[in-house]
Amino acid sequence: MSDSEQGEQGSATPDNSTQKGGAQKSMAKARGKSRRLAMQAIYQWQMTGDNITDIKQQFYDANNMSTLDADYFSDLFSGVASSISELDPLLEKNMPRSIESVDPVERAILRIACYEFVRRLDVPYRVVLNEAVNIAREFCAENSKSFVNAVLDKVAREVRQIEVQAEQK
C-alpha cells in the first residue's frame, strides 16, 4: 500500500474490523483513481476550453465510474474549474514562473492538489502531496515530480501551516 493510501485509510486500531479496514483501503484506491481521472479532465478543459459540464459527462460516459469515487472526481474537477482565480495566484507565488508557462499536465496536477489543500481539509496534506507526486511520476517527465513536490510543499506550508508544523514536531 502506498503512503498516500495509508494516509487516507487512517491508522488501524484494535476496534477496526477487517471489513472496515478493507473499505477504507478501497476508498483510498478509489480516490486515487478519481484524482487521475480529474487530472485528465482538467487537462482536457485547459487545452480545449470546452464546457465543464460537457467534459464531465464525456468522462462519465467513457469510464467505469463504479471503480472510483465519482463524487470526489466531480468535486475535484468542478472545484478546480470554479476556483482558478483563487488557486493560480496561490500557486504562482510559490513557483519561479507563471502558471501558464507550466506544462499542462503539471498544471492540472498542481491545481488539483492546491484545491485539495484549500477546500478538502478532510484529506491530510501529506496524502495530497504524495498523490500529486505519484501522478506526476506516472504522467510527466522525470524532473516534474521534483518541481511538483517543491511547489506543493511551499503551498502546504502556507495553506496548512498548523498541520505541517504539527507533523514536524
Q: CATH code at 147?
A: 1.10.940.10
Cβ-count burial of 62 within 10 angstroms (0-12 exposed, 13-18 middle, 19+ buried)? exposed
Judged against a pLDDT cut of 80, whether residue 21 lies above it is answered with: no
Least confident of 4-13, 85-94, 116-125, 145-154: 4-13
Q: Length of the chain in residues, anyone?
A: 169
At a CB cut-off of 8 Å and minimum separation 6, what does 120 contact?
A: 75, 128
Judged against a pLDDT cut of 70, whether residue 1 lies above it is answered with: no
By residue range, what is the domain housing residue 43?
A: 3-168
Number of domains in the chain: 1
What is the pLDDT at residue 152? Answer: 98
Q: Is the pTM of this model over 0.95?
A: no
Question: What is the distance, to the nearest Å, from the Cα of residue 152 to the centroid of all Cα atoms in its chain?
Answer: 11
- 94 versus 28: which is more confidently predicted? 94
* 2-16 per-position pLDDT tens digit: 444 444 444 444 444
